[in-house]
Amino acid sequence: MITDKELNALEKKIGYKFKNRKLLLTALTHSSFSNDDKKNKIESYERMEFFGDSILSFVVSEVLFSKYLVETEGKLTKLRALVVCEETLAKSAVTIGLSKYIVMSNGGIYSGGRDRPSILADVIEAIICSIFLDGGMDPARNFTLKILKKYIQLAYSGTLIIDYKSTLQEYGQARLLTVEYLLNKVDGPVHDRDFEYFVIIDGNTLGTGSGKTKKEAQQNAAKQAVVNLNLDFS
């Protein structure tokens, strides 16, 4: 379990002092730990992740809308997709050294779960929610901008990572083509899965991708399809 000293250190990195630290602890608790300790009924971050995702999207949308006044709805949507994605959130988590504070089962820790991008991204969203529940919108907004401000700037300059799924979806919509992701196989134990997906456009398989999460595998499949189609995704 995480100590008060460790929570103090994390609060300094986050830039917010919690009135109710239980909220922060919940935001750090993976379901593998809460499932192992059913006696104490410890809640995991999953519900907070859901709410935090919405707060995150709102804050980034608000900044883009206010900062880039001449951009179209389509451009703003694309910029938001670049910023609000698993990779940027995971990078933000690494920047503040979040992984060592995540509460997990021993199996999850030994398999490297604390460093998995999908889990780091989920915990960032849960922390945003925990700050909102503890102190309201202003501190939640401040933390979100603290970790994502540079990515917003990079996205606008065109030097941030590409959301290949969005690019592929726009390609399909413009041509009235159906874009589908088909799960091909799942390997590995429950706590350390490997997923493989096909991306199928109008009945043709144009990309294959694998990853530790379904999102990651689909993104990698989309990336291969974007390359195969020679699309302009700048």
Rounded Cα distance, 88 and 204, in Å: 31
3-state secondary structure 174-214: HCCCCEEEEEEEEECCCCCCEEEEEEEECCEEEEEEEECCH
Number of neighbouring beta carbons within 10 Å of residue 192: 15
Classify residue 159 by its DSSP letter: -
Q: Compute the radius of gyration of the chain from its Cα atoms.
A: 19
Active site (annotated) includes residue 11: no
Calculated CA dihedral for residues 216, 77, 153, 115, nearest 10 degrees? -20
Residue 43 known to be catalytic: no
Out of 49, 53, 86, 163, the active site residue is 53
Check 86, 87, 125, 163 and give the catalytic one.
Answer: 125
Closest by CA to 207, choosing from 181, 187, 232, is 181
What gap in Å lies between CA 166 and CA 171, rounded to an integer? 9
**Catalytic residue annotation:** 53, 125
